[in-house]
Amino acid sequence: MTVLKIITYPDPFLKKKTKPVEDINDDIKKLIEDMADTMYEAPGVGLAAIQVGEDRSIIVFDPEADKENRPYQVLINPEIVSTEGELLSENEGCLSVPEFRSDVKRAEFAVVTGLDIQGNPVRIDAQGLLAVILQHEIDHLNGILFIDRISSLKRGIYKRKVKKQLRENE
């Protein structure tokens, strides 16, 4: 079990758009296992490779975050192909944006495609929490944090809090 370091805001690496995975080799499979270990240890329900310093288009997720069974899923090169409806993701949080939660408007339904760990095509018709998780993690792959989707007032409050903490820790 390898737990990776999670990069946190305001690290500029989190704003980077990731590169697609061209070859699902042993290094990629090891990264995926380490990402899953990291997600469960954090604990979280999803994690994007960019959050652990890897410029790769990979996400792992488990809406139930069951440490006993660890039935996580992986999507390589995921894309949202369609969305429908709207819901308010209440109290959404992020492992890269510690100690802050906020309500975020998300699509209620999302169709997502990508590849599994064997390179087979996958299509997920997601709704509710799973749709929110997939949207959140795919946002990461595009350099978007959930705080980019909240009001500028709430975002400003969080940014000031982080700057103050950074000054105090110097």
Give catalytic residues, as residue numbers: 137
| Residue 102's CATH number | 3.90.45.10
Domain-embedded: residue 3: no
Domain-embedded: residue 139: yes
Domain of residue 63, residue span: 12-169
Domain-embedded: residue 5: no
Per-residue pLDDT of the chain (170 residues; tens, 9 = 90+): 799 999 999 999 999 999 999 999 999 999 999 999 999 999 999 999 999 999 999 999 999 876 566 789 999 999 999 999 999 999 999 999 988 999 999 999 999 999 999 999 999 999 999 999 999 999 999 999 999 999 999 999 898 988 888 888 87
Q: Are 138 and 79 in contact (CB under 8 A)?
A: yes
How many domains would you assign to the chain?
1
Region label for 21, one of left (φ > 0), alpha (ψ between -120 and 50) or beta (otherwise)? beta
Domain-embedded: residue 105: yes
